[in-house]
Amino acid sequence: MDKFAKGAVRAQKAGFDGVELHFSHSYLVNSFLSRVWNKRQDAYGCQSLENRARFGLRSCALLKNAAARIFPVGVRINGREWGAKEGTTSEESVGFAKLFEQAGANYIHVTGIGYGFGHKMCWMFPDFRPYPEVTDDTREIADALKTTGALAPYAEAIKKAVSIPVIVVNNLTPQMGERILEQGKADLIAFARRLMADPELPGR
Ligand SMILES: Cc1cc2nc3c(=O)[nH]c(=O)nc-3n(C[C@H](O)[C@H](O)[C@H](O)COP(=O)(O)O)c2cc1C
């Protein structure tokens, strides 16, 4: 856990403006948050939201103590997980967001993940499909995320529950992004692949 703090201090010294704690997709901290992975019965176990969040909460708190107070610390979480019955629900994500806000997070970045092939594969891209056809166990996420702005309802649910800014991502167009902002479903929108294709997009 203290490695997050050490990493953030290093980033701060190197001149970065802030850090984002990656608690989403299927990385380390999500393996505590998500019941897909977390089968523990100890204080970090799957018995309660607080226990599932404990690793992340302690990492966040250590980091907030170590870095300068003005250094923004965001937390990226799955707004929902598809394709597994133990996958994180929207309600659980809202609970996690509230806990991370209390732990000092300066914003929440909402992404999502789907599981397929007996949980062996995790994915987040609607157009990243198993060849040649979407399989039965990956159909749920493929259908869920194929429309632009599909994660907006999960960001909105979190935004209603916290007072820090909420970012939404995934398969957005600039037009859909504007609509989401106008409708107050999120405070910021994020692009990944569009910026790789056109880094000048935000200035247009
Ligand atoms: C090549 C590539 C690598 C990515 N690597 C990561 C990663 O390491 N961590 C992460 O949280 N998201 C990663 N993402 C996901 C993006 O952060 C983003 O959530 C996703 O691409 C959906 O947004 P988009 O539809 O605007 O591309 C990656 C995306 C791409 C295209």
Domains of the chain: 2-203 (3.20.20.70)
Least confident range from 7-11, 50-54, 113-117: namely 113-117
Strand ranges, E, within 15-130: 19-22, 73-82, 107-116, 121-123
As a whole number, mean pLDDT of residues 126-130 equals: 52
Ligand 1 closest atom vs CA 111: 19
Residue 180's alpha-carbon distances to 68, 71, 110, in angstroms, are 32, 27, 13
- What three-state secondary structure class fits 166? strand
User: Which residue in the block uniquely carries the two structure tokens 């990656």?
Assistant: 22
Q: Is the shortest distance between the CB of 77 and ligand 1 below 6 Å? A: no
Question: pLDDT band at 141, cuts 50/70/90?
Answer: confident
Count CA atoms within 13 Å of residue 32 on its CB side: 21
C-alpha 47 – ligand 1 centre gap (Å): 30
**What are the tens digits of pLDDT across the range 171-190?**
899 999 999 999 999 999 99
Please confirm, yes or no, whether 107 is among the known catalytic residues: no
Residue 144's alpha-carbon distances to 15, 45, 91, in angstroms, are 39, 29, 17
Question: pLDDT band at 115, cuts 50/70/90?
Answer: confident
The reply to whether the predicted model has a pTM over 0.85 is yes
Q: Helix, strand, coil shares of the chain as percentages rounded to 5?
A: 40, 15, 45
Structure tokens at 141: 């996420």
Chain mean pLDDT for the chain:
90
- Percent residues over pLDDT 90 in the chain: 72
Ligand 1 closest atom vs CA 193: 27
